């Protein structure tokens, strides 16, 4: 249960609320109003708290059932289907306590409930362990990046430096403007009607930048009939130039393929040989706040190549050091991605178990 965004009431209000809703450790909590209607979890808090009216709590009678089994049932695809079937409202969805009380489903014996709940609880704990591992890796990477990259103009040196293979020191980092490091290009206008599975050229159109973004783009799925347009070179760094958001802007990606047709509203940064493409993508992602300053427009946010030319960056002059840094960060990303895949696989496996157990 996440507690980073909490609200508080005074003691008098809490006592008044708690008299009516004395939620205990291990009770089942179910959202009964709003966009998250039907969300369910087990209360993991030992201390008292005030429960909003938009959340119901369910407590087993301990003679015929257990909270853990009820939670797993309501969390299962079958249980969620039952919950959705009695949700009312359109603008604001809700489920009433009367409808919750009227739920009717078959319970196994108490010992069997306990065995099922214990097994599924162990699966949940494994998933939580993997999530915590993923979060720790992401936090570690964030800390490492802050030590690796000094911001231009800060007057600070990198706190974490690599050494040459012979044990010697790399040269000091220097300040450069982005226009000295890359040439700038724009993708070609491309509409969705141009896309076809049996087209002649691989392509990335503007909208895909937000769905295909990774630290390194390795596969391009869409194809187009168009033969004319701006074609990529391996190592091009791609960034969105339209509908720029803090989330999308934080992702500069390296394309690992030649001859990919690049759609409009894509800024193409083509390194001149002074900077590693992958290193540059990490550096630009680190300088998110500087990039946000360059965004223009009100309704539709834009970031144009002309605004990027003078962007000040500080970086190693040694391509070897750049490659060492990029390789280290790519290895970290691979570890994070591996754990994320394990989380997804475990969640999918549990979903399959629930579909078989609750029918």
Residues 15 and 99 in one domain: yes
Q: pLDDT tens across 64-111, in order?
A: 899 999 999 999 998 898 888 888 777 778 888 888 888 887 888 999
Sheet (strand 216-217) strand order = 182-186, 266-271, 237-240, 253-255, 216-217
Residue 88: its pLDDT value, please? Answer: 79
- Between 100 and 126, the higher pLDDT residue: 126
- Highest mean pLDDT range out of 26-35, 56-65, 225-234, 340-349? 340-349
Residues 231 and 307 in one domain: yes
| Domain of 73, in residue numbers | 11-107
Lookup: tokens for 305: 């190549």
Residues 310 and 183 in one domain: yes
Residues 186 and 311 in one domain: yes
Written in H, E and C, the secondary structure of 255-293 is: ECCCCCEEECCEEEEEECCCCCHHHHHHHHHHCHHHHHH
**219 pLDDT above the threshold of 80:** no
Residue 211: its pLDDT value, please? Answer: 43
- Return the bridge partners of 312, or none: 177
* Domain's final residue, options 63, 81, 107: 107
* For range 10-24, the mean pLDDT: 89
Residue 230: its pLDDT value, please? Answer: 83
Residues 181 and 74 in one domain: no
Residues 93 and 181 in one domain: no
**250 pLDDT above the threshold of 50:** no
Residues 92 and 186 in one domain: no
Residues 99 and 200 in one domain: no
Instruction: Kindly state whether residue 323 falls inside one of the protein's structural domains.
Output: no
Give how many domains the chain has, as a whole number.
2
* Helical H segments across the chain, by residue range: 11-20, 67-75, 77-85, 97-101, 110-148, 178-181, 209-212, 246-249, 277-286, 288-293, 305-308, 319-357
**pTM beyond 0.85, yes or no:** no
CATH number at residue 78: 3.90.220.20
Name the pLDDT band for 174 (thresholds 50, 70, 90): very high
Instruction: Kindly state whether residue 87 falls inside one of the protein's structural domains.
Output: yes
Residues 199 and 103 in one domain: no
Residue 315: its pLDDT value, please? Answer: 93
What is the C-alpha separation between 354 and 352, in angstroms, rounded? 5
The average confidence (pLDDT) of the chain is: 84
Instruction: Kindly state whether residue 142 falls inside one of the protein's structural domains.
Output: no
Instruction: Kindly state whether residue 329 falls inside one of the protein's structural domains.
Output: no
Residue 241: its pLDDT value, please? Answer: 80
Cα–Cα–Cα angle for 10, 13, 15, nearest 5°? 105
Instruction: Kindly state whether residue 126 falls inside one of the protein's structural domains.
Output: no
* Domain's final residue, options 107, 124, 143: 107
Instruction: Kindly state whether residue 83 falls inside one of the protein's structural domains.
Output: yes
Residues 300 and 224 in one domain: yes
Q: pLDDT tens across 264-315, in order?
A: 888 899 999 999 999 999 999 888 888 888 888 777 778 888 889 999 999 9
* Domain's final residue, options 87, 107, 127: 107
Residues 101 and 230 in one domain: no
* For range 244-251, the mean pLDDT: 59
Residues 229 and 306 in one domain: yes
Instruction: Kindly state whether residue 168 falls inside one of the protein's structural domains.
Output: no
Instruction: Kindly state whether residue 28 falls inside one of the protein's structural domains.
Output: yes
- Between 270 and 152, the higher pLDDT residue: 270
- Between 328 and 250, the higher pLDDT residue: 328
**339 pLDDT above the threshold of 80:** yes
């Amino acid at each position: 249960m996440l507690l980073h965004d909490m609200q508080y009431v005074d003691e008098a209000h809490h006592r008044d609320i708690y008299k009516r809703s004395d939620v205990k450790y291990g009770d089942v909590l179910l959202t009964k109003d709003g966009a998250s209607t039907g969300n369910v979890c087990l209360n993991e808090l030992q201390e008292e708290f005030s429960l909003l009216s938009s959340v119901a709590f369910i407590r087993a009678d301990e003679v015929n059932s257990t909270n853990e089994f009820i939670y797993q049932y309501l969390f299962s695809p079958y249980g969620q289907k039952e919950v959705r079937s009695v949700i009312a409202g359109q603008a604001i969805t809700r489920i009433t306590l009367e409808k919750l009380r009227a739920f009717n489903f078959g319970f196994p014996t108490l010992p069997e409930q306990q065995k099922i709940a214990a097994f599924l609880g162990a699966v949940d704990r494994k998933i939580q362990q993997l999530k915590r591992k993923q979060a720790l890796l992401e936090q570690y990477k964030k800390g490492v990046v802050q030590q690796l990259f000094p911001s231009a103009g800060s007057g600070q040196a990198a706190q974490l430096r690599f050494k040459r293979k012979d044990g010697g020191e790399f040269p000091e980092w220097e300040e450069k403007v982005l226009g000295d490091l890359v040439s700038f290009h724009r993708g070609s206008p491309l509409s969705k009607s141009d896309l076809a599975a049996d087209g002649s050229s691989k392509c990335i159109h503007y909208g895909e930048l937000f769905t295909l973004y990774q630290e390194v783009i390795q596969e391009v799925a869409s194809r187009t009939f168009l033969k004319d347009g701006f074609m990529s070179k391996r190592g091009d760094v791609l960034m969105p130039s339209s509908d720029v958001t803090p989330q999308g802007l934080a992702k500069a990606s390296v394309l690992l393929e030649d001859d990919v047709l690049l759609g409009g509203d894509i800024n193409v940064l083509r390194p001149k040989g002074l900077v590693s493409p992958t290193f540059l993508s990490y550096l630009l992602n680190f300088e998110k706040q500087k990039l946000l300053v360059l965004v223009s427009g009100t309704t539709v946010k834009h970031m144009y190549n002309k605004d990027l030319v003078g962007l000040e960056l500080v970086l190693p002059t040694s391509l070897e050091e750049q490659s060492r840094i990029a390789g280290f960060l790519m290895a970290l990303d691979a570890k994070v991605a591996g754990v994320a895949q394990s989380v997804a696989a475990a969640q999918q496996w549990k979903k399959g178990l629930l579909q078989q157990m609750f029918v």
